[in-house]
A = this chain, B = another copy of it.
Amino acid sequence: MPAEPAVPAGRATPEDLDRADPLARFRDEFVTDDVIYLDGNSLGRLPHRTRRRLEEVVAVGWGRGLVGSWDEWIDLSTQVGDRLGAALLGAAAGTTVVSDSVTVNLHKLATAALDTQPGRPDVVTDAGNFPTDRYVLAEVARRAGGRLRTVPTDPVTGPAADAIGTALDDGVGLVSLSHVDYRSGSLADIAALTEQAHAAGAMVLWDLSHSVGAVPIDLPAAGVDLAIGCTYKYVNAGPGAPAFLFVAEALAERLASPIPGWFGTTEQFAMAAEHRARPGAARFLTGTPSVPGLVAVEAGVEILAEAGMEELRTKSLRLTDLLIDLATTSLAPLGFAVSTPTDPGRRGGHVSLSHPDARRISMAARRRRVVGDFRAPDLLRLAPVPLYTRFSDVAMAVERLDALVRLGEHQHVTVTGCAVT
């Protein structure tokens, strides 16, 4: 039985859309091959400039400059933080730094937030939040004498304002949610949920890991207190690149890091007896940051800034619209269902398709050079990243998924391996 044609007659073809794409040239910024890579929501592709700069910082900065290079590296965490904040978060200078991992940054900011909320030791999050967030928040709340209150999540639309509202009372000092749900790809209303938390006397800490670089963000406009996020997904900074954290300008002076490391102290090389917190978000710096990691973050931010987040969002929505359309028409009869909000205003950068055999389909697709990933129990996640994914890639990916399921190729797959967030 032949597959349905992917695009109905009379519509613009994916190739038409590629030809009209104003961002098409950005694909040349990346190392690409014949793989249709739809897993940039887990690990973004390698930019050519990043490969070159990493070689340079290793061979020249480290290899030749040696310890003297620290003269130019010492402020990288704040410099790259400022650039990331300005390009991707709407954040003022001094409010964003790049350092540590998302997990460690979450611990620091959540702990510091509860420190300023006496009598409010509880934290609210949603049951579908990323595991490391739930684990760390539960421990931070426990150490503050409280507990983590977990709100049920809708598998497609994510946490709802009314469910969170029910969980809020004067025992809650902090609400921490993910901006884009790592499973469904649903996009939270960051301003509304922040306002709701503030009205109940709680601070907010947003995890932007699955939205930064995929969705335009303006943290000050949304009144956000604190935020964290990773750089190896849509910022394309490579496996384990350092994370960022954001602290609202008016808030920093009231917050103290629970890990007051020497990079977070004024007069770092005075080796003083007492830790004196640096102004702004820099007080949350800890130890020596990964210099190659910071160089890679800077390059990734640069490319996003050159393309422009509004333009990227426009293309991203067209790509995910196309994917949802094609999945609905050609994949639904094969047992797939769209598990991502169809409303573009409620959607991040990836689309999740549920299927009882999602895990094996995900693996069989790799043999056909289509790389998405699987999330238990039944989700196939597909992220058509606008910097390097073509409309024709999306159409071809759907055709291959269609063909492989029709041919039953996934039924011969042995389940192995892992995949990271």
Instruction: Give the B-binding residues of A (Cβ under 8 A).
Output: 31, 33, 35, 37, 39, 42-43, 45-46, 50-51, 54-55, 58-59, 61-64, 66-71, 73-74, 100-104, 107, 127, 130-132, 134-136, 138-139, 143, 230, 232, 238-243, 258-263, 265, 268-275, 286-294, 366, 371, 373, 375-376, 416-421
Query: A68 contacts B136, CB within 8 Å?
Result: no
Closest to A238 in B: B62
CB distance from A419 to the nearest CB of B (A): 6
Query: Complex: how many Å from CA A242 to CA B99?
Result: 12
Query: Complex: how many Å from CA A33 to CA B68?
Result: 14
Closest to A288 in B: B240
Query: A290 contacts B241, CB within 8 Å?
Result: yes
CB distance from A420 to the nearest CB of B (A): 5
Q: Which residues does chain B contribute within 8 Å of A61, judged by CB atoms?
A: 239
Query: Complex: how many Å from CA A49 to CA B243?
Result: 28
Given A66-B371, A74-B420, A269-B419, do A101 and B101 touch, yes or no (CB 8 Å)?
Answer: no
Q: Which residues does chain B contribute within 8 Å of A39, judged by CB atoms?
A: 66-67
Query: Complex: how many Å from CA A261 to CA B420?
Result: 13
Query: A132 contacts B261, CB within 8 Å?
Result: yes
CB distance from A303 to the nearest CB of B (A): 15
Query: Complex: how many Å from CA A127 to CA B271?
Result: 11
Q: How many copies does the complex hold?
A: 2
CB distance from A117 to the nearest CB of B (A): 16
Query: B135 contacts A420, CB within 8 Å?
Result: no
Query: Complex: how many Å from CA A138 to CA B64?
Result: 38
Query: Complex: how many Å from CA A58 to CA B375?
Result: 26
Query: A419 contacts B70, CB within 8 Å?
Result: yes
CB-contact partner of A288 in B37, B62, B101, B292, under 8 A = B101
Q: Which residues does chain B contribute within 8 Å of A273, judged by CB atoms?
A: 127, 134
Query: Complex: how many Å from CA A134 to CA B273?
Result: 8
Query: A101 contacts B71, CB within 8 Å?
Result: no
Query: B288 contacts A239, CB within 8 Å?
Result: yes
Closest to A135 in B: B275
Query: Complex: how many Å from CA A417 to CA B75?
Result: 12
CB distance from A220 to the nearest CB of B (A): 26
Closest to A150 in B: B273
Q: Which residues does chain B contribute within 8 Å of A130, judged by CB atoms?
A: 262, 271
Query: Complex: how many Å from CA A288 to CA B44?
Result: 14
Candidate in A39, A71, A131, A270 with the most chain B CB atoms within 10 angstroms: A131
Query: A239 contacts B291, CB within 8 Å?
Result: yes
CB distance from A118 to the nearest CB of B (A): 15
CB distance from A359 to the nearest CB of B (A): 11
Closest to A74 in B: B418
Query: B63 contacts A58, CB within 8 Å?
Result: no
Query: B63 contacts A31, CB within 8 Å?
Result: yes
CB distance from A187 to the nearest CB of B (A): 20
Chosen A-B contacts, 20 in total, with CB atoms closer than 8 Å, are: A33-B64, A35-B66, A37-B66, A39-B67, A45-B66, A55-B55, A62-B238, A70-B418, A70-B420, A71-B417, A73-B239, A100-B101, A100-B104, A101-B288, A102-B288, A131-B265, A131-B271, A132-B261, A232-B288, A288-B420
